[in-house]
Structure 1
Amino acid sequence: MTNSINFDLCPEFQLRGAGFPSSWPGRLASDRTSDWATRFDEEVRTLQDIYASERLQEAIWWQNPAFAGNVLPALLRGDCNISNSKSRRRLKKFVSYLQRYCAKNEVIGFFGPVGFGHLVSGSTEARDSRGPWLRDRKVYMEPWVVHALWRHFTSQAPQHALLWLSPKVRLEQGVVFDGSASRRANGGRAITEEMQRLLERLKQAPQSTETLLGEGFDEATLTLARRQSWISPLPAIPSNGFPLDWAVQKAQEYHPSIGEPLLKELARFRSCLEQMSVGESRSDRLPHLIQNFQQLIASKNSGQVSRNKGAFYGGRLGFYEEGVRRSMELPAGWVESVLPALGLVLRSARWMALETARTADDLLLEKARKLHRRYGDGYPAVLLWEKTIDIFSKPSLLGFPEAEAELSRRWQQALGEPDLERSGASFSCEEVSRRVELLFPQQTHSYKGARFHSCDILFTAQGKAVLGEIHPCLFPFQDLSTTLHHPHIETLRSWYRNRREGRDVRPATFVPFTRLHLDGRIDQEAYAVLVDPHHGSWRPASQQVRLGDLTVHPSEERFCLRAPNLPDVDLLDFFSGELSELQSLHFSPFSRIGPGHRVEIGGLVVKRADWALKLSDFSSLQPLETAERISRLNRELIGKDLPAQFFARFPKEVKPLLIVRDSVLFLDLFWSLLVASGECRCSEVLPALDEAWLQTPEGLATGEARFVLFDKSCR
């Protein structure tokens, strides 16, 4: 499918949705004329009724076992005291989970299952495929749990633990390069002949300490190599989504003193995962299974049942469930009718992508030239990697704040001042297209990362389109979930392959979670560069190369990375994966346009009506008792024209929260977050929650389609 502004639309889309009915949060709205205590008790009883859902209990157990075990039983018993701040704090936590499960479009567990769909020409309504609501449910384990097991069992018999060479290490005669700063040996570190032999030996294959000592290596040499992080007893686990299978195979290569107890423990973990994966409803036994799994982890992980508090589901707990909803067909006409408007927004996405890519390119070239002046042609790529990777941890270095501000300024100029007397600003594509073309001109900078863009579109049951987020430089079908579950994966791969330019070379960077990491899985022919000692790649060995084997060379007025049997890769192209992840998160063309009315272009709602609120706006409420404060807050929000349901985005929160204006529990949550953050941006819920159309077992849920478009004009 094409539009007039040179974008190809992929007919396959990702379906993202909530796992519970959108009507549930609204049930907490209570009579504003009643007193605080009456409303509180009424809403708590409603929460208890909602919590009676076994699926909801199960969702909370999956996401936060500690909260589920310690708090929810008290809620079910009705052990909630209005005057007890601890009770109210727990209720606010539960309310925050409820709004997430009912009003957020996710791809997480069975309460926001992975879904896919296809655009169909000639159709006029959305159609679910046949079969059960959930097509599949399976529990997976994260690689960090395997590493915890490896640490435990190899420490029991360290002489038999295999030692692995870091992929960053580059060996030349008498010198090792690992990326660390050194003024000697042309950027490397001088090493002894024995150290040279040791590292060359481990480059061929991992060996145990006992074997190496038996071959005559000195123990002090091994100790030094470990201290310098050139070698490690922890292997690099491939990111294939099945670390347990890999661990079972790898454990068999170890000495029986490590391999046998490790295999027994892995069998216990597998049994636990299989039990958690069996059955449609497991709420009666799920708590025991999860607690058993956590006890297994704690017993081999220094007593810790999780890691990275506050991190992603799965990455934190060490296990996660993947739920897959049945696929769906949407009328192609729903999207085709708004493609001209979408093309205008994507034109600005292209502009921002190339602006920030140019800044990144300048920074990378500056680093590469500086190293080239010092070390000459063919210097080790690990030196460049260590000098440049920090760029991507600091978005301000890449000019994102300035680019975002300029993007919004140009869109404000393109749209002009809205008529505040109207309920919103509506434009035809013809009205704004000329200004958009002038304000976002075609650029000449070359950047392969800008070939694909994705966008989220929310539809009403009648096909009215609302633009959600736009993610420049993001091809969303690059993750493990797509590879495992997409019903037309080969069709999707073919669509991508026909628009790909050359074979990509991507660093296999570490992430704290596996399932949604965009590591190029749609492209089976790309190469992976191993850059992390403990994080491997899912690609075959013939398509893997160590960072230590790459060198940097001038190429015309630029630089490329080179390795045996690998096509030369341009410097910016090599880092495009790191850059595009940032670009996909920093595109909000209308968020900085002053708070005001809804904006619609060519039938596509591109900006919801929104409101900017500050704590100082409600200074008179702060000294009041809770009951009076909540009552006054409700009236003031009504006075500011906030609708009965709205989203509030707080600076310290990753996602916006749904707020039910006439619920004292929701208002209590809203107030606590406003006090903590000092400000928030609120927006209307559009489509409204009562326009939900995705089927769930309990009722209709919200949903959105994530589309991907190919920019044919990008080089």
Structure 2
Amino acid sequence: MRPARALDVDDVDPRAKPWIERDRWRVSTIFLLRMTGFPSDLIRSAHPVESPVDGESEAAFDERVREASRRLRLLGADPRFREAVFLSNQAGFPALSGWLDGHARRSGNDRQAAITIANYLQRFCMKNDSASFFGPSTWARLADEDAPNITVEPGSDPLRRRTFLTHWAVAALADAFATRPGVLDAARPRRVPTLRIRDGRVTGVLLGGGRWSPATDPTLVSPAATALFDLVDGNTAVAALRVRFTAHGHSGFDSALRELLDREVVTHGLDVPTGISDPLRHLRDLLAGTGDHEVLTVLDGFERDRADFETADLARRQELLTTMGEAFTRFTGHPATRGAGRFYTDRSLLYEDSRKPFDTFTIGGRLREDLSELGPLWDLLWLPTERDHRLTSRAAERWFDHRFGAATSVPFLDYARAWVDDTDVLDAAFDDADDEILAYQREFLAAVLGNSGSADRVTLSPDDVRRLVDELGGVSSSGAVLNVDLMIDSPSVDAIRSGDYRLVLGELQVQRELLSHCALSVFQDDAEREAVVEYAGSGYAAAAEADELVAELVRSHDRKTNVQVHLPIPHVEVQGRSALRGHQPTLQLADLHVRRVGGRLRLHSPQLRRYLRLTTASAPVGFPERRSALRPFAFPSREFALPMPDGVRHLPRVEYGRTVVQRRAWRLRFDDWSDLFAHQAWSAGEFAAARRLARESGLPKRVYVKVDGETKVTYVDFDSVHLVWALLKTWRRRGGGALFTEMLPERQNWWLAVDEERRSCELRFGYTRQAT
């Protein structure tokens, strides 16, 4: 995907700007509609025909379970369902498919298979995930003020699919091919962004195994390898480097290159850029001129099978994946699947995304105004994130003063190495900051809930929100970047048009801008891409301080293929190769400096002569941002939820105007349900006890649950034996706590109909606040 052109916001026609501005807040007029892959009514397959009867006999219960299992098996025979399971877990599909094709037995295997189907069903029908059959997405727009509240015309175009080889699979192929002499000549070696050679030794930090660690190899680097390292720039191919190296009067190029590769201070240069959707095409184009016909034939074969897979039926897809897997293992020596049991992972060689085309999907009128007037609410909800960021940054500043004394500018590698060496000292400082943050969270929660006591609902007026902001710290001068997932709670499109609706806040994520970091960018037309680029680029610029440039932190994700629209901003490589070439500067962390300016730590680029604000501090991916050496230089990042400190067992629903800010929530521990231990697992008594304990805990019949230690939220209906069993199995294995949240909107208020079938959906908007 080509990088976007540079953006001059002042040149954009105000009437055409892809955002609406209220005070300091902007909301994107282009947004992402995410929906469930399957209609909501299919979840009934996980329920018995008749409602459960607590206290029934084991024989009656067994028959009820067998009847529910038969219904699940019938659903599993649907080709659409099988394809959805295959796409989500291609390695585990044969075992489940075998059970679906067999005969039902009341056994452990039969029970587990039925639970697995129920688990897939709740994800396909009840969750707005954005991966393949878990839920197609589409791009939509805010219309003018005088347009109807909503206009929805699904259209008759079929689902559009795109299939690609995963980033990790192409990276493995590149590693295998890099050992071939003709291939290596076409490679573009790149310095590892966090390592340099000083005084003949490798210095810096390593990012591996999910953490930062010091580079500790004391062996001297040869003069020839040091000279070659100075020539490596990530853009020059090995063949050209050989010429330059010789022209500088050096000899022994091949051994020098091998030394740098063995010491892992440079990469072989076939590494796949981060953020591109089609890494296979990138590798094929890179190697086109090598003349290595065997390698090119292999890559062409993968491309043919990929293209065939995109349009094939399920049986053919299985054949193709088997063929590709065998070829992959033959050339790389690695298995063709990985990450079994993990949620956020590209498990197989292929990933697929889909878009459901709509003829029209726009929001206007009063609903548009409601969306554009949420700024005061975001000012309030931003406060815990800002306090968190401020306290951890102050801890880092005090450490810097103690570590570096009067120094006002330090090379980033020296700063990062000291940060790693002083991990224990920093952890203690951050633990102290955590105590202050926890105290503030308690203050914040008490202020928002007021004197609600045991009430089920708290209503905040605009005056209440303004008062709370003043009491809890006041509106900050800092900018903000938010990603907001909202659902419309209404029985129908006609009801929304007449004003019968409310908004429900799903997630509020304070992190890098997610409309541009989105796999659905492969489905954007030119106008949609331009709108995303203009909104995101201008929003970042507005949220940064006047003397800062916003810079994209380039870090690869070892568990999934990240796809993004490349904004007109510099890139800073920390882990992985930038996809930018010649359009915006590409920097490396090792070339930056940390400055102590005006009492703050700031990241400075000598090349650009500007301070940098990073889009995220998350590097390596999964490393706690609050402990990251990059944290002081990045936009604050966290996922907002009203805090539930120890001892808080229930949160009421919190409403602001037409918006539900917080759904009712309950914090329970597995030990609270100790009555379950008196019953045999998977028995009628255990199921009845779970239902009784849910009622006694005040839970609704239908909830979403996040068990501590699990990555994903799941849906549970306490009338469904298999969904309850799935919860108990996970909770029993994990122990500890679980957060239960009311289901809102309820299924009868899922207003979106596609092919005359109701589906859940949510709308992802970008909001940015201008720095002052």
> What is the TM-score of this pair, normalised by structure 2?
0.79
Cα deviation per residue 1:284-339 (whole Å; 9 max; x = unaligned)? 42222233333333223324112344445663323211101224223442253376
Cα deviation per residue 1:410-442 (whole Å; 9 max; x = unaligned)? 13323313264x653334333454234312413
2:230 counterpart residue number: 200
Q: CA deviation at 1:200?
A: 2.9
Q: CA deviation at 1:455?
A: 4.1
Contact 1:25/1:660, CA 8 A, preserved across alignment: no
Q: How many residues align?
A: 694
Q: Is residue 293 of structure 1 aligned with residue 327 of structure 2?
A: no
Contact 2:707/2:730, CA 8 A, preserved across alignment: yes
Q: CA deviation at 1:243?
A: 1.2
Contact 1:241/1:480, CA 8 A, preserved across alignment: no
Q: Is residue 509 of structure 1 aligned with residue 555 of structure 2?
A: yes
What SS class does the counterpart of residue 442 from structure 1 fall into? coil
Q: CA deviation at 1:66?
A: 2.4
**How many percent identity over aligned positions?**
18
What SS class does the counterpart of residue 649 from structure 1 fall into? strand
Q: Is residue 493 of structure 1 aligned with residue 493 of structure 2?
A: no
1:602 counterpart residue number: 657
Contact 1:12/1:119, CA 8 A, preserved across alignment: yes
Contact 1:149/1:300, CA 8 A, preserved across alignment: yes
Q: Say which of 447, 450, 457 aligns to 1:413.
A: 447
Q: Say which of 123, 126, 144 aligns to 2:168.
A: 144
Contact 2:572/2:586, CA 8 A, preserved across alignment: yes
Contact 1:474/1:581, CA 8 A, preserved across alignment: no
What SS class does the counterpart of residue 286 from structure 1 fall into? helix
Give matches, 1:230-629, under 5 Å: 230-233=265-268, 235-239=270-274, 240-254=276-290, 256=291, 259-278=292-311, 282-311=313-342, 315-327=346-358, 328-334=361-367, 336-337=369-370, 342-365=374-397, 379-387=410-418, 397=430, 399=433, 403=437, 406-407=440-441, 409-418=443-452, 420=454, 424-443=457-476, 446=478, 448=479, 450-460=480-490, 461=492, 462=495, 463-487=501-525, 488-499=528-539, 500-501=541-542, 503-512=549-558, 516=562, 521=565, 523-524=567-568, 526-532=569-575, 534-540=576-582, 542-553=584-595, 555=597, 557-558=599-600, 560-563=602-605, 565-570=607-612, 575=617, 579=631, 584-589=637-642, 591=644, 594-625=649-680, 626-629=683-686
CA change 1:14–1:459 in 2 (3 A) is farther
- Matches of 1:183 and 1:52 in 2, distance apart? 54
- Matches of 1:433 and 1:613 in 2, distance apart? 33
CA change 1:316–1:209 in 2 (3 A) is farther
Contact 1:479/1:516, CA 8 A, preserved across alignment: yes
Q: Is residue 128 of structure 1 aligned with residue 149 of structure 2?
A: no
Cα deviation per residue 1:489-514 (whole Å; 9 max; x = unaligned)? 22333334444246422331121356
Q: CA deviation at 1:372?
A: 5.2
Q: Say which of 738, 742, 751 aligns to 1:680.
A: 738
Q: Say which of 22, 26, 39 aligns to 1:21.
A: 39
- Matches of 1:596 and 1:639 in 2, distance apart? 16
- Matches of 1:183 and 1:470 in 2, distance apart? 38
Letter in 1 for 2:120: Y
Contact 2:26/2:372, CA 8 A, preserved across alignment: no
CA change 1:172–1:436 in 2 (3 A) is closer
Which runs of 5 or more structure 1 residues have no equivalent in the other structure? none
- Matches of 1:223 and 1:370 in 2, distance apart? 41
- Matches of 1:411 and 1:377 in 2, distance apart? 39
Cα deviation per residue 1:465-492 (whole Å; 9 max; x = unaligned)? 1111111244221215354333522233
Letter in 1 for 2:534: S
Letter in 2 for 1:119: L
What SS class does the counterpart of residue 135 from structure 2 fall into? strand
What SS class does the counterpart of residue 486 from structure 2 fall into? strand
Cα deviation per residue 1:56-108 (whole Å; 9 max; x = unaligned)? 1111101101222111331243x3322x2222122212211110111111111
- Matches of 2:38 and 2:197 in 1, distance apart? 56
Contact 1:71/1:90, CA 8 A, preserved across alignment: yes
CA change 1:344–1:563 in 2 (3 A) is closer
Q: CA deviation at 1:118?
A: 1.4
CA change 1:396–1:24 in 2 (3 A) is farther
2:209 counterpart residue number: none
Q: CA deviation at 1:39?
A: 0.8
Q: CA deviation at 1:564?
A: 5.8
> What is the TM-score of this pair, normalised by structure 1?
0.85
1:60 counterpart residue number: 85
- Matches of 1:596 and 1:182 in 2, distance apart? 44
Give matches, 1:90-169, under 5 Å: 90-120=113-143, 121-129=145-153, 131-132=155-156, 134-155=158-179, 164-168=189-193, 169=195
- Matches of 1:223 and 1:323 in 2, distance apart? 43
Which runs of 5 or more structure 2 residues have no equivalent in the other structure? 1-18, 207-212, 496-500, 543-547, 620-624, 626-630
Contact 1:419/1:425, CA 8 A, preserved across alignment: no
CA change 1:197–1:283 in 2 (3 A) is same
- Matches of 1:380 and 1:312 in 2, distance apart? 38
Q: Is residue 44 of structure 1 aligned with residue 69 of structure 2?
A: yes
CA change 1:20–1:645 in 2 (3 A) is same
Give matches, 1:651-662, under 5 Å: 651-662=708-719
Letter in 1 for 2:489: F
Q: CA deviation at 1:225?
A: 2.8
Q: CA deviation at 1:701?
A: 0.8
Contact 1:113/1:323, CA 8 A, preserved across alignment: yes
Letter in 1 for 2:25: F
- Matches of 2:398 and 2:272 in 1, distance apart? 34
1:646 counterpart residue number: 703
2:769 counterpart residue number: 711
Contact 1:174/1:191, CA 8 A, preserved across alignment: yes
Q: Say which of 17, 21, 26 aligns to 1:8.
A: 26
Letter in 2 for 1:277: E
Letter in 1 for 2:387: E
- Matches of 2:486 and 2:111 in 1, distance apart? 35
Letter in 1 for 2:567: D
Letter in 1 for 2:447: Q
Contact 1:21/1:698, CA 8 A, preserved across alignment: no
Contact 2:160/2:356, CA 8 A, preserved across alignment: yes
- Matches of 1:674 and 1:179 in 2, distance apart? 39
- Matches of 1:43 and 1:183 in 2, distance apart? 57
Contact 2:456/2:652, CA 8 A, preserved across alignment: yes
Letter in 1 for 2:353: E
Q: CA deviation at 1:273?
A: 0.9
Contact 1:404/1:586, CA 8 A, preserved across alignment: no
Structure 1 stretch 138-147 or stretch 489-498: which is displaced more?
Answer: 489-498
Contact 1:364/1:388, CA 8 A, preserved across alignment: no
What SS class does the counterpart of residue 148 from structure 1 fall into? helix
Contact 1:276/1:289, CA 8 A, preserved across alignment: yes
- Matches of 2:215 and 2:74 in 1, distance apart? 69
Contact 1:298/1:305, CA 8 A, preserved across alignment: yes
Letter in 2 for 1:235: L
- Matches of 1:619 and 1:703 in 2, distance apart? 36
